[in-house]
Amino acid sequence: MAIHTILKMGNPLLREKASEFSKEEILHEDTNELLVDMWETLDFAGGIGLAAPQIGVSKQLAVIKLSEDSDRYPDMETTDPYVIFNPKITVLDKELQGFWEGCLSVPGLRGYVERPRKVKIDYLDEKAVERTIEVEDFLATVFQHELDHLIGMLYVDRMEDVSTLMFEDEMVLQEVSEEEILD
């Protein structure tokens, strides 16, 4: 298993629409190895989500794990780890909520992004079983952020006001609430 290099904004692969997995591909040993690599890469990078295109694999797969023992997010509630293949998103609440988002593929920068407050995701899990989950608030933003990678979008594409894009150290100087920051 291996820790992968995370592609950065500007790499054309990050702008491609990723292809779906077949159920057979999901169950293949190579995909299991990819999942192990993604979890190791995510842990090493200190993030809370990672999509396959971020490590150079243009396939519809993302992993998400929020942990209360995170150095970056000490007040965050722990969730189950999520493995998401071939997701379909449905907006359940059009009310928007905003967070300062960051991204492992856009290192050192943060931007203010508003997204729907509650969404439903239909997807396949690591056993190729159909699942549905409804998420809201911060977790809804995390899911939408990660799944954007599967359609070739970055959080900077969702920003209404690009003047809010700033370096993380500048945010500290401006005392932006750490609770509003997403990575």
Give the CA-trace dihedral at 129, 29, 63, 94, to 10 degrees.
-40
- Tell me, yes or no, if 146 is annotated catalytic: yes
71 Cβ neighbours under 8 A, 6+ residues apart: 46
Give the C-alpha separation, 35 to 27, whole Å: 11
- Please state whether beta strands 61-64 and 82-103 pair in parallel, antiparallel, or not at all (unpaired): antiparallel
Query: Is-contact 134 92, C-beta < 8 A?
Result: yes
Single-letter code of the amino acid located at 172: V
Start-end of H helices in the chain: 23-27, 29-45, 137-148, 155-158, 168-173
Catalytic residue (choose from 29, 95, 114, 146)? 146
Give the C-alpha separation, 105 to 71, whole Å: 19
Residues with a catalytic annotation lie at 146
